[in-house]
């Protein structure tokens, strides 16, 4: 049995004061969760949120990681910096990073390796655009992204990674893949992992759904056998909504 994992992606939201308010409200609401709980917060909130969550069942993640240990990379944040601040997880290759900041399968691969080398737990995002879905290229796009992300990554390291399937057309749009679409595509992604690493790792790897999962659809999505949790955007910014999703994931 794969343990569900619900991760909130706050994106570019919440000042330190706002983060404190949200986490303080969230902690008692999810203390009995049956799944792993992660909040991926802006860099400026990591240290504060990690301290607030110390000793609780909420783990803290970042939203990006540099591919280098250090150096002249203005605006990037290294693995050592993330770990020192208290991050345990890191999102890599989110569609918004690909769309707005030029992220590629090659850079996702480099960032993934850096996270793994430094003992951070990666959440690697893959997913197709609307034209890919409508053109029948969903599987092609997802396979290309998975194969590119995991190029020369060992089986042992791959086993430490979470994949988030995020259909780009369903992020922040209010549109959601049907339960069947989510299950089918995640099942296909798992088959790609099986091709790369074998059945044991594929069967154990947790693959989340990340396209506008919310309090209204979490029960039906989580009932799908291939869906191992969610990467939650807007709903993670409200304690009650995020807590409902967390507590629905068993």
Which is the catalytic residue, given 94, 96, 103, 128? 94
CB atoms within 10 A of CB 119: 10
Q: Is-catalytic flag, 103?
A: no
CB atoms within 10 A of CB 125: 28
Measured N-to-C along each axis, helices 179-197 and 138-149 cross at an angle, to the nearest 10 degrees, of: 40
Q: Is-catalytic flag, 139?
A: no
Which is the catalytic residue, given 96, 103, 128, 166? 166
- Catalytic residue ranges: 94, 166
């Amino acid at each position: 049995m794969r343990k569900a994992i619900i991760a909130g992606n706050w994106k570019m939201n919440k000042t330190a004061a706002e983060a404190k308010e949200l986490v303080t409200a969230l902690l008692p609401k999810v203390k009995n969760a049956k799944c792993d709980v992660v909040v991926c917060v802006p860099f400026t909130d990591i240290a504060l949120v990690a301290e607030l969550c110390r000793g609780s069942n909420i783990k803290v993640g970042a939203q990006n990681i540099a591919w280098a240990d250090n150096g002249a990379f203005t605006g990037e944040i290294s693995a050592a910096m993330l770990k020192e601040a208290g991050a345990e997880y890191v999102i890599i290759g989110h569609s918004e990073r690909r769309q707005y900041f030029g992220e590629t399968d090659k850079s996702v691969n480099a960032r993934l390796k850096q996270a793994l080398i430094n003992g951070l737990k990666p959440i690697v995002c893959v997913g197709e655009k609307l034209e890919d879905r409508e053109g029948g290229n969903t599987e092609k796009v997802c396979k290309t992204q998975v194969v590119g992300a995991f190029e020369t990554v060992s089986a042992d390291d791959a086993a430490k990674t979470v994949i988030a399937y995020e259909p780009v057309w369903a992020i922040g749009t209010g549109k959601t893949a049907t339960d069947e679409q989510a299950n089918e595509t995640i099942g296909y992604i798992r088959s790609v992992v099986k091709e790369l690493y074998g059945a044991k790792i594929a069967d154990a790897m947790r693959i989340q759904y990340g396209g506008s999962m919310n309090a209204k659809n979490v029960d039906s999505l989580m009932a799908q056998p291939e869906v191992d949790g969610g990467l939650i955007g807007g709903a993670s910014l409200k304690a009650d909504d995020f807590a409902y999703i967390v507590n629905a994931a068993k």
